[in-house]
Structure 1
Amino acid sequence: MATLTVSYPLAAGSTFDRDYYLSTHLPLAQAAWGEFGLQSAEVLFPAAAPQPLAGMVILRFADQTGIDAALASPMTREVISDVPNFTNIAPVIFRADD
C-alpha cells in the first residue's frame, strides 16, 4: 500500500467549500485515479478549535507505481483545474514512503 496526502493550509482570507469538495471534487479524483490503483480516500476536516489546515485527504493506492501513473495521467489536469471551484488555497501534496 502507498499513501498520498493532499492538505490545504489555512491563511488569512482562505476559503474552502466542504460541500463542493465532498460532493464534486472527491468523486472526480476517485474516478480519475481508480484505474491506477486508488483503493480508498479518507477526508479529514479540523475540529472547532483553530487548526493549521482547512482539510486534508489521505489517498491509499496499491503501490507507488500507481501514484506515479495517477499523477502523470491527463485526468490529473482536470482534478487540479477543479481546485479553484472549492478553495483559494494551494494544495500541498505529500507522498509517504509506506
Structure 2
Amino acid sequence: MIPDSDAIVVYVTYQGTPQSRFDRHYYIDHHLPLVMKAWRPYGLDHAAAFFPATAQDGTIAICECRFRNLAAADAAFGSAEASAVMADVHHFTDLVPERARAVPL
C-alpha cells in the first residue's frame, strides 16, 4: 500500500521510568477511542498505541496518529474537542505527553 503523500503522522510519546504511572488498559480501552471519536471528524484516519518490549527508562508509550493532511492535524489539535482529549490524560498517567510530527525520508 502506498501512503497518501499528503498524510501526516503525529507521534505522541510519554517519557518515564518503569515505576511511572501509566495505565495501558485505560489508554487502549478508553483514551484511544476518545481520541478517534473526537478527531475523526477533523481527518484522523487511524490511531495506534505501542509499548516497549522491556521495561526501561525513556519512552514508555507511543501513540501514532495518522491524519489525512496537515490541515486535518492542525484542526484536530486546535479543536474544542482537544480539551476533552487532554483532560483525559490524568486518568491514565501523571506524565506529560510530547508531540512530534513525522516526516517521510
Q: 1:81 aligns with which of 78, 87, 99?
A: 87
Larger radius of gyration: 2
Give the equivalent residue in structure 2 for 1:60.
66
After superposition, the CA RMSD in angstroms is 1.5
Distance in 2 of aligned mates of 1:43 and 1:12: 17
Identity %: 36
Aligned length: 98
Please say if 1:32 is aligned against 2:41. no
Distance in 2 of aligned mates of 1:93 and 1:77: 15
Q: Which runs of 5+ in 1 are unaligned?
A: none
TM-score using structure 2 length: 0.86
Q: Which runs of 5+ in 2 are unaligned?
A: 1-6
Distance in 1 of aligned mates of 2:17 and 2:66: 27
Give the partner amino acid of 1:18. Answer: R
Contact 2:17 2:57 in 1 (8 A): no
Structure with more contact order per residue of length (Cα contacts < 8 Å, sep ≥ 6): 1
Q: Deviations over 1:48-73 (max 9, x none)?
A: 25251110111001100000100110
Contact 2:13 2:59 in 1 (8 A): yes
TM-score using structure 1 length: 0.92
